[in-house]
Amino acid sequence: MIAAVPMAHGLILAGCLFAIGLIGVLVRRDIIFVLASIEIMLNASGLAFVVAGSRWGQPDGQIMFIFILTMAATEVSVGLALALQLHGRLRTLDIDAASKMRG
Amino acid sequence: MLQLLWLVPALPFAGFVLLALSGRRLPDRWVPFIGVGSVGLSLLAAVLVATSFLAAPPPGYAYSQTLWTWMSVGSFTPGITLYLDALSLVMVVVVTFVGFFIHLYSAEFMAGGEGYGRFFAYMNLFVGSMLTLVLASNLLLLYLGWEGVGLCSYLLIGFWYQDSYNGYAARKAFVVTRVGDAALAIGLFLIFNSLGTLEIQDLMRRAAQQWAPGSALALSAAALLLVGALGKSAQLPLQTWLPDAMAGPTPVSALIHAATMVTAGVYLIARTNVLFALAPAVQLAVAVIGAVTLLLAGFSALTQWDIKRVLAYSTISQIGYMFLALGVGAWTAAIFHFMTHAFFKSLLFLAAGVVIMSLDEEHDMFKMGGLRRSLPLAFWTFLVGAASLSALPLVTAGGYSKESILYQAWAGQAGSPWLWAVGIAGAFLTGMYSFRMVFLTFFGEMKQQPSKKPSIDIGIPLVVLAALSIAGGYIDLPRTLGNLPILSSFLQNTLPPTVIAQPAIDTELVLGVIAGVVPLIGIYFAYLLFFQRRPAYADGPTRVARGGPLYRLWFAGWGFDWLYDRLIVRPFVWAARADKDDVIDSVYDGITRLNVVFNNLLSGTESGRVRWYAAGIALGAVVVIAIGVFA
């Protein structure tokens, strides 16, 4: 058995990944990159679950990760459909162009 | 027969309801039957009640009739209760009597004009309200009548509403008397709060037990009632509305603004005499206000050219005499003067009305003249009225009542030679301005032919009132002349007797002679100035007559209107104009504006950009977590 990675390291990594993903969502304008950044955030939270599960020796963390993967898959399908719609209607992938619904 | 008492006020009210409901559907020839008839029947009922009251006085010399309970709130249960005693009996008889004859006169005087039915509806409502006022057994009912007569006064001054000046005069009368009415209302609250009742007899009894003479409560209650009386009776400083009230039809001036309503203040003070006896300072104020008013109004009357305004100022002046009498504790003399004044002043107004009508609405005495032969009835009755007003000794009613006031102003408990001197000066002025009217109107060269003659309906009231202006004085003869004070001893069943400090018969005689001679001197001056027009006699007075500064001051009623205009009306109008947009409202406007600003701010964040929303969510999450972690 490989020596256990300290929990703090795992959580810091998860936090860094989440921050990177969030910054990506906020900064990038291309919808593909935004979706990719959301993936990173989802995986960061999945990592946090897995690390926590390993810390307590419980399988729950890994079960939660399966859920997150499932949700990520559905999210990507919806996201790609949106990307197609965006491109089809506006001839661009810039999400700021899709701001017609403002109040 | 005393049970008929309720009919006395009820009949005029019924007449009002009939006339008001039928409106213009009623042909004009039927209107007088209802309008005059209702007051006539009311007079009949009053006479029946008076006869049975005199024939068999009820126990305690007072009869009270409860019709129903007005309202019942805790211990406060004012009833619609009529209370008849010597004082209210005299008032009721005078009001219905004078009222009836003025209605009779109006039937002819107002005929053919627009709003004939409306006129009689208002007049009937007035008589009903006035009777409610004098018969009320509690102050709340009295207040109802008080406001009722004020309303009718307003409606009738502005009767010819097409002329905007009349509307202005009506509003002025209403607003100025409202000052007094507000004080009266506060006085009522004070009395109820402290004595727990508004029943006049109960509250006077309790006041005598609970309030020390001169205590703050007694003083403030009496002062508040006094201000109410000042407003209604057009006394200083609330007298400015009465001369303008002459904008109304002449019968209205005769009934409301001479004989009845304006004396309501006198009645109120006489009715609540115990409260005033408990507040000697206020009672002195009554006397002083009366004295000053009678003098100021006398000077003003001397300079007016409008015959009705002379009479208006003379009414203020004569009510000043009544206040003087009330102030020195000469309660019965005040009521006596009220009675004779009601006769001769309404007579003067009605006779002046005949002159005005026959000269086609001419009010200016300097454009009249020489009407002695062409209008003999008006001349003789006006002469009788003027003689009675100027208190000619022995032969006129006004002479007896004024002499009794003057004597008691000297010798009465609170009397003083100063008050007497002012009263005598006023008597001089009264004689002068009364006969100035007579000489200017009926003597001298004829300037305008009368266009119509009065009919019998107008003649009867004139003759009857003229007879009473002479004979009305004989029911109260002073000690020096027969000593037969019928009215005084009757009234003393209700009102406290006048206390004479040193009842010396020769003093009374001397004072009586002076009071009799002074008006004659005044008349002689009027004769010199306005009949013979001798400039040699009248260097000073003619300067007055020709329009010097003093003349203008007197003509303008001592500038009270000017003063109030500067002091109250203009600042008020200015404030109203400054506050046109409502300062208080700006607070609420500010709240609305602030909301709009926030709304704009927040709706700016709704940019439609997904990244902004994501940032918002992230920031919100950070804040919430931070609160969760650190708090």
Work out the burial of residue A56: count CB atoms within 10 Å of its CB; fewer than 13 is exposed, 13-18 middle, 19 or more buried. exposed
How far off is chain B from A57, nearest CA to CA, in Å? 26
At B364 the three-state DSSP class reads strand
How far off is chain A from B621, nearest CA to CA, in Å? 12
Closest residue in chain A to residue B616, using alpha carbons only: A26
Q: Which single residue is written with the structure tokens 């500010």?
A: B590
Out of B606, B609, B618, closest to residue A22 by CB: B618
pLDDT in tens, B336-372: 999 999 999 999 999 998 888 888 888 888 778 778 8
**pLDDT number for residue B122:** 92
Side chain identity, residue B60? G
Substitution target from B603, B606, B609 for chain A, most A beta carbons within 10 A: B609
Distance separating alpha carbons of residues B198 and B184, to the nearest angstrom: 13
**pLDDT number for residue A101:** 66
Question: Which residues in B381-486 belong to E strands, given as ranges?
Answer: 476-477, 484-485
**pLDDT number for residue B542:** 46
My answer on whether omega of the bond before B237 falls inside 30° of 0, hence cis, is yes
Cβ neighbours of A103 in B, within 8 Å: 603, 606, 608
Cβ neighbours of A29 in B, within 8 Å: 611
List phi, psi (to 5°) of B167. Answer: -65, -40
Q: Which two tokens stand for residue B359?
A: 């000269």
The answer to whether the CB atoms of B614 and A25 lie below 8 A apart is: yes
The answer to whether the CB atoms of B611 and A99 lie below 8 A apart is: no
Distance separating alpha carbons of residues B247 and B256, to the nearest angstrom: 13
Closest residue in chain A to residue B607, using alpha carbons only: A102
Mean of pLDDT values over A77-95: 89
The long-range contacts involving B527-532, CB below 8 angstroms and separated by at least 24 positions, are B527/B435, B527/B439, B529/B436, B530/B435, B530/B436, B530/B439, B530/B440, B531/B439, B531/B443, B531/B444
CA A50 to chain CA mean position, Å: 15
What is the overall mean pLDDT for chain A?
88
The answer to whether the CB atoms of A100 and B615 lie below 8 A apart is: no
Out of B607, B608, B615, closest to residue A26 by CB: B615
Mean of pLDDT values over A8-34: 91
**pLDDT number for residue B569:** 87
**CB contact at 8 A, B235 and B242:** no
The answer to whether the CB atoms of A99 and B607 lie below 8 A apart is: yes
At B73 the three-state DSSP class reads strand
Tally of CB atoms within 10 A around B542 = 16
**CB contact at 8 A, B193 and B139:** no
Substitution target from B602, B603, B611, B619 for chain A, most A beta carbons within 10 A: B611
> Does the ipTM exceed 0.95?
no
Q: Which two tokens stand for residue B31?
A: 């209107």
Which among B249, B418, B386, B421 has a CA at the least distance from the CA of B314? B386
**pLDDT number for residue B223:** 92
pLDDT in tens, B561-618: 888 888 888 998 998 888 887 788 889 989 999 999 999 988 887 777 888 888 889 9
**pTM, full prediction:** 0.79
Q: Give residues with Cβ within 8 angstroms of A25, minimum separation 6.
A: A34, A37, A38, A41, B611, B614
**Residue segments in chain B with a per-residue pLDDT below the cut of 50:** 536-543
pLDDT in tens, A32-61: 999 999 999 999 999 999 998 888 888 988
**pLDDT number for residue B109:** 85
